[in-house]
């Protein structure tokens, strides 16, 4: 995928719910999931958002975004976090 951004998640029981939340929060994006056994790469072209609200709905309980940090092995793109959402975006620089 060209200009891919997004998380690389360690395998856990919550990975399917996290992927479902990413799909829900990015309805106009192509979401590609690459399962490598021990980890899952989730990516979209250029921009991805994941909200705490959607993640909690998919996991089925209150979910703090800081809990996701334990599963986050790596990521592509520039990451911006708040208490309500995580955004991955393509870093563009102008000279």
pLDDT at 94 exceeding the cut of 70: no
Instruction: Please answer whether residues 48 and 63 qualify as being in contact, where contact means their C-beta atoms are separated by less than 8 angstroms.
Output: no
User: What pLDDT digit, counting tens, does each position of 14-64 carry?
Assistant: 999 999 999 999 999 999 999 999 999 999 999 999 999 999 999 999 998
Total count of residues recorded for the chain? 95
Q: What is the pLDDT of residue 93?
A: 53
**Predicted pLDDT of residue 95:** 47
Sequence spans of domains, the chain = 4-89
pLDDT of 76 > 90? The answer is yes
8 has which bridge partners? 41, 74
Homologous superfamily assigned to 4-89: Monooxygenase component MmoB/DmpM (3.90.56.10)
If one counts every other C-beta atom within 10 angstroms of the C-beta of residue 79, the result is 16
The predicted pLDDT at position 91 comes to 74
């Amino acid at each position: 995928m060209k200009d891919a951004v997004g998380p690389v998640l360690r395998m856990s029981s919550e990975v399917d719910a996290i992927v479902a939340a990413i799909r829900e929060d990015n309805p106009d994006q192509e979401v590609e999931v690459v399962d490598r056994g021990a980890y899952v790469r989730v990516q979209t072209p250029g921009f991805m958002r994941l909200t705490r609200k959607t993640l909690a709905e998919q996991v089925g309980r209150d979910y703090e975004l800081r809990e996701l940090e334990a599963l986050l092995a790596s990521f592509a793109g520039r990451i911006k976090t708040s208490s309500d959402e995580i955004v991955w975006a393509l870093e563009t620089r102008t000279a």
